[in-house]
Structure 1
Amino acid sequence: MSGLSVLSGGFIAGLFAAVTAAWVAVGRTVGRRPRPTTAAVFLMAILLTIAAAADVVNAYFSYLPRLGDVVGAATEGGSDPHLKTADLRLSTTSATLRAHPRGAVLALPVPDRGSGFGATTALVYLPPQYFDRPQWKFPVLYLIHGSPGIPADWLRGGQAADAGARVAATGHPVIIVMPRMSHGWLDDPECVDGVGERVETHLLRDVIPTAESTLRVDSGWTNRGIAGMSAGGYCALNLGLRNRSVFGSIIDMSGLTRPTHAGGLGPLFGAGPQAQAAMIANSPDLYIGGLGPGPRPRIWLDVGRHDRTVAVAIYHMRDFLDANGYPVQLHVRSGVHTFTVWRPALREALSWFADDVARVSAA
């Protein structure tokens, strides 16, 4: 699933074609070449109209960076004036962080600790209690973006900081870590350790140790969850099941149950028997029955009712998980494959995660 970017190749080509056609039409209408001033005004109007339409479409899908994000003008905290963006480049001790009524969104540098993926930057939502209760440790949800996509999509389209503030207000605060799981917003590594890059290892070796050694995270199994939407939903399901001793909760929003690289699976796994084995080892609907004994993470599946292909896969996955003893629940809501589904899904699933962690901790 991909949205329309104001800077995509398809958009630029379409824009050029539209402007050319409009220029020709004006020339035919007036019977002569338009004056330079008239032509410039006319073409500028066309450019602005098409760019505005593209930006509206992209705002709806919220997948790719909008023009303001590309030039660095975006506010990571979204449109909520109470959520401030701070910088963690120097330190993450509570003394250096300013408290805010509804929490703070921070940039966390993630060094390469041996994955070979390279250094990245994760976005982090810290609840207000992080500043008010310096002795507390907090559960953490690792929230994976889609493809195309970047972590900030969760702050814009998904309103993740607002969701975090809502659960914090109930007394069950959660840290949300939004890692970079691709090298670019058009990259589609499917969160696997493939022939080109080791994204699963990046999460396990780079992101989680950095977050949990830097922030006041309660790193117990039940206090750590993984979530995502679309391709990120597949990532959450696959990585959560492949690492059952790491994640106590899995939230899959509109994710398929097998890797679906746009260029085929060759770029991910190569060719031959080893590639086929790697594909099966990263297809939850194929390996779920062979996992055997071990921890059973709590699983939340969520999908739009009219997202038909994904919904069929999600329904089948629910049945597979239930048959293999996993505590699973399925939520179907109105909508298709957009943030109109994932925004409410995140709010509800995050509340479920926070409440469940609090219940287990109190037991």
Structure 2
Amino acid sequence: MSRWSLRPLLARLTALLGLWSFFNAAIAGEVQYHTFESSTLGHAYPYTVYLPDNYDAEASTPYPVVYLLHGSFGNERDWVAKGNLAQTADRLIRAGHIPPAVFIMPGSRSWWIDDHNEAGRSAFFNDLIPHVETHYRVGSTRALRGVGGLSAGGFGALNFALEKPEMFGAVAALSPASYVPYPPPNSSAHRHPSFLDEQGNFDTALWDTRNYPAYLEEYRINVTPRPSAEESDIPPVPLYISAGRSDVYDAEFHARQLRQAMERIQPNDVRLDLYPGGHTWRVWRASLPAALTFMFQHIGDTPTGQ
């Protein structure tokens, strides 16, 4: 085939690529970076927000909202800068796999608990969520709210859902650092200020009271129907778990432990996906679409304008 006969084909390909690029650029959410003063922390609370394409602050129906927590020593920009959150959300919304939704990615110096470093848990519930629900057109009910996280953020998201199942319609824990009984020696938990006592030692007692086994019995009671009822007042929180098969912290083993513990309580509401790879963004980026698709099977409605 001569170079002259290739020209029509190349022209078509160029036109198609241009159309594809225009379509993707035309349907894209907006990422913003903000702070507000947290009375709990006594300093500015940073967060990143993803707003879907054509976000309408006056929509008659609120948008579903998902809070995504970063990992140990991470920050509020990680999910966008390293996790491709915006591109993934754009693609899933465009394909109709999830509805237009707002994603809030807060920053914290803690492991999402009230710890030796800061009151991360209290700031999340008492300051961040009220701030978000005041400034954005998002739902304030369980049916429109989800929480997820990776590594230490998965630890935090899981704990939030177990502690307050009345607040979250679904939870995703990607390579959760929910180690039982304690973090492995190479885990950053052993050097994170959250778990270091005044002598600089890892606080095992604090870990015992903050890790998910401490919440399981009360959670089970909350979501289990009474003998005279067919359903409980608070439904179980559907749980998505993922892990890399070659994770240096043995996340697959701990993820399987977590699934087993949760399936005793809610056998039909737990999913575990395993991926090739380690404790890395490659695994978290790969599992994010499945995690969000799972979550939005249980939360969210498409908002409509007034």
TM-score range, shorter chain: 0.7 to 0.9
Alpha-carbon offset, residue 162 of structure 1: 0.9
Matching of residue 108 in structure 1 with residue 49 in structure 2: no
Q: Contact 1:226–1:250 at 8 Å: present in 2 too?
A: yes
Distance 2:61 2:176 in 1: 33
Which structure features the higher share of helix residues?
1
Cα distance in 2 for partners of 1:359, 1:247 equals 15
* TM-score of the two chains, using structure 2 as the length reference: 0.75
Tell me the SS of whatever aligns to 2:159. Answer: helix
Report the equivalent of 1:119. Answer: 44
- 1:263 corresponding residue in structure 2: 191
8 Å Cα contact 1:104/1:126 also seen in 2: yes
Compared with structure 1, are the counterparts of its residues 268 and 194 closer, same or farther at alpha carbon in structure 2 (3 Å cutoff)? farther
The correspondence for 2:263, drawn from 295, 300, 322, is 322
Change in Cα spacing, 1:358 to 1:110, as seen in structure 2 (3 Å) is same
Largest Rg, 1 or 2: 1
Partner of 1:166: 91
Q: In structure 2, how many angstroms separate the alpha carbons of the residues matched to 1:81 and 1:180?
A: 33
Alpha-carbon distance in 2 for matches of 1:256, 1:168:
29
Contact 1:83 1:103 in 2 (8 A): no
Query: What stretches of structure 1 of length at least 5 have no aligned partner?
Result: 1-79, 85-99, 183-188
- The root-mean-square deviation of aligned C-alpha atoms, in Å, is 3.0
1:178 to 105, 109, 115: 105
Aligned partner letter, 2:142: W
Between the two proteins, the alignment pairs up a number of residues equal to 257
Q: CA deviation at 1:131?
A: 3.9
Q: Which AA in structure 2 matches 1:179? A: P
Write out aligned runs for 1:153-302 (5 A): 153-171=78-96, 172-182=99-109, 189-258=110-179, 260=183, 261-263=189-191, 267-268=195-196, 278-294=206-222, 295=234, 296-302=236-242
SS at match of 1:143: strand
Give the equivalent residue in structure 2 for 1:311: 252
TM-score norm. by structure 1 comes to 0.64
- State the distance in 1 between where 2:264 and 2:68 align: 27
Q: Does 1:337 align with 2:279?
A: yes
Give the corresponding residue for 1:49: none
Higher relative contact order (Cα pairs below 8 Å, separated by 6+ residues): 2
Aligned residue number for residue 13 of structure 2: none
Which residues of structure 2 form unaligned runs of 5+? 1-20, 184-188, 223-233
Residue 163 of structure 1: CA displacement? Answer: 1.5
Structure 1 residues 132 and 285, CA gap change in structure 2 (3 angstroms): closer
Distance 1:163 1:135, change over 3 A: same
